[in-house]
A and B are shown apart, each in its own frame.
Chain A
Amino acid sequence: MGDSAYLPSAASAVPVAVPTATVPSRHSVLVRVTHWITTLCFFALLVSGAEIVVSHPRFYWGETGNDLTAPLFKLPIPASRNFVPSGYGYVLPDQNGWSRYLHFQTAWVLVFTGLLYLVSVWLNGHVRRDLLPNKADLSWRVFSKDVVSHLRFKRPTEADAWSYNLLQRLSYLFVIFVLFPFVVWTGLAMSPAFVSAVPAAVNVLGGQQSARTLHFFVSVALVLFLIVHVGMVWLAGFRSRMRAMITGKMITGKMLTGKIIAGRAATPRADTTEEGT
């Protein structure tokens, strides 16, 4: 099972000389552009968010929290304001001003990009075709097989390059439809003006400080996703996957030996079922 992953998989390879120009794009222009805008936004939000957090690296639950109330937890770092009881004898440089400007401006770019992406992929069938798991794959057997092969750091097969496996689909769906909307929601729930118009946005989260704490947790979850995502790209072949997400062209091992991989249409989701045969 372990070795076979490196061998050509008969079902997924068509050893004919298809001109490179007709090879279908691995990722559509829309997916590629929104992917990299989101990447830029994510780093801008992460840096500016971290800068904002260090001005008060204490987290609370409920409506209110300050230096006089017990925190739910605090980060083991000094603060950028001298009156926060951080337990450290020094104060970090305060960068809150531009961080807040950058955080909100980037949030707008991210929201517009996200809306463009969501509407487009919903209409063009990308969600149904590439992200929603196949009915056949929705079983514990496929799921556990996928988990095991991930845990063994098994290199993906050629077929995997053209389609997402079950775990991949589930994590992308979770990030796109749960984590990103939730991070926007919890961010808005911290805005005193926004919640004056939509008080339920913060009330159902348990209060303004709860929203802040949840915003932090979702951000941590997104960072964890990023680490795993980049790790998997590395494992699958950093250069080929990066090229696919930048130019849309997928170059695989067989292409280099004069063969070519058939497009998605000719590969009936061999990704999870064919693997290890």
Chain B
Amino acid sequence: MSVSRRKLITTGLAATAGALGLGVAARLAQKYGLVPPDHGGFYGVGETLNYASQRLLTRHSLAREFSRSQISKPPFPNEIPPLNEEFKRLQAGKFADWRLTINGMVAHPASFSLDQLKSYPSQSQITMVQCEEGWSYIAEWIGVPLAHILQAVEVHPQARYVVYFSIDPEWWDSIDMADALHPQTFLTYGMNGDELPVGNGGPLRLRVPRQLGYKSVKFITHLTVTDNLKTFGKGLGSASPEGGYAWYAGI
């Protein structure tokens, strides 16, 4: 009898400590921005653990870079949705009229042509695109770090996310500031020493090499800096959770 009472007490204490611990963990996670926008629902706990643990582990880590000899030949253009009329019109004009607009929590909302983006010192990285399906390829990506552009438009200090939009209205996504200011997050306009092919997201693709391929949205036309993702779409952070895929795709 005394054994079972002791067991009852220790079990009760452990349960209380566990519940308190979870409560404290949830508060800390909120405070340090470790809760993803798609944290609701049955899979919310797993998603939060994925995002929180990897964000703590990878705040400053660099995606693996490869040697030139490891670049995939031939380059792999995966299937893309049908291009809309607006894209075809801009393509006919060799993308001279392509614009990247930036607004939201910035001091200087701006609009950049591709040539203006190319006037910033260009950088390159040889990194892997990894699709959630399982395939992958390595390419050299040439562009300007997103951090440089965000610096140019002067992002407000309370900004928490950068939302980015494709010319395809159904395709938009967002990343936190750790990824947005990460030195390998590029606005990419070139690949393997050439223009970025349309099949790989040309003329402008946001590369987020520490996350799966679907976070590297193709045909980028617009960025918004914000501290609240609730006002975009269904409030889940990107089109991916609306289609059943996780917002955070580092795993």
Chain A residues within 8 Å of B, Cβ to Cβ: 52-53, 55-56, 58, 63-69, 81, 83-84, 96-98, 100-102, 104-108, 190-199, 202-203, 208-209, 212
Asked if B46 contacts A56 (CB within 8 A), the reply is no
B136 touches A108 (CB 8 A): no
Q: How far does the Cβ of B238 sit from chain A's closest Cβ, in whole Å? A: 13
B-chain residues with CB within 8 Å of residue A108 when the two chains form the complex = 45-46, 49-50
> Which residues does chain A contribute within 8 Å of B135, judged by CB atoms?
56, 58, 65-67
- In the complex, the answer to whether B76 meets A97 with C-beta atoms within 8 Å is no
Interface of B is mostly: loop
Q: Are B128 and A193 in contact (CB under 8 A)?
A: no
A97-B244, A97-B245, A199-B64 as given contacts; A194 in contact with B58, CB under 8 Å: yes
B47 x A101 contact (CB < 8 A):
yes
Assess whether B72 is in contact with A69, with CB atoms less than 8 Å apart. Answer: yes
Q: Please tell me if B30 contacts chain A, counting CB pairs below 8 Å.
A: no
Cα of A192 to Cα of B136 in the assembled complex, Å = 11
Q: Are A191 and B133 in contact (CB under 8 A)?
A: no
Q: Is the CB of B43 within 8 A of A52?
A: no
Q: Chain B: which residue is nearest A212 at the CB level?
A: B134
20 example contacts (A-B, Cβ-Cβ < 8 A) are as follows A52-B134, A55-B132, A63-B128, A63-B136, A64-B138, A67-B76, A84-B133, A96-B132, A96-B245, A100-B245, A104-B46, A105-B47, A107-B46, A191-B250, A192-B128, A193-B54, A194-B54, A195-B64, A196-B61, A196-B62
Q: Does B10 contact A (CB under 8 A)?
A: no
> Contact string, B218-244, partner A, CB cutoff 8 A, digits 1/0?
000000000000000000000000011
Cβ-based interface call for B63 (8 A):
yes
Q: Is the CB of A56 within 8 A of B138?
A: no
- List residues 142-170 of chain B with CB under 8 A from any CB of chain A: none
Mask, B93-111, CB within 8 Å of A = 1, is 0000000000000000000
| A209 pairs with B246, CB closer than 8 A | no
Q: Please, which residues of chain B bring their CB within 8 A of the CB of A193?
A: 54, 57-58, 61, 210-211, 250-251
| A68, B137: Cα distance in complex, Å | 10
Q: How far is the CA of A81 from the CA of B135 in the complex (A)?
A: 12
Residues of B within 8 A of A67 (CB): 76, 135
Are B134 and A64 in contact, CB atoms less than 8 angstroms apart? no
**Could you tell me if B47 and A96 are in contact, using CB atoms closer than 8 angstroms?**
no
Q: Given A64-B136, A101-B43, A101-B46 in contact, is the A191-B64 Cβ separation under 8 Å?
A: no
The reply to whether A192 and B212 contact each other, CB–CB distance below 8 Å, is yes
The 3 closest A-B pairs by CB, nearest first: A105-B46, A97-B244, A193-B250
- Distance, CA A212 to CA B128, complexed state (A): 15
A66 to chain B, nearest CB (A): 4
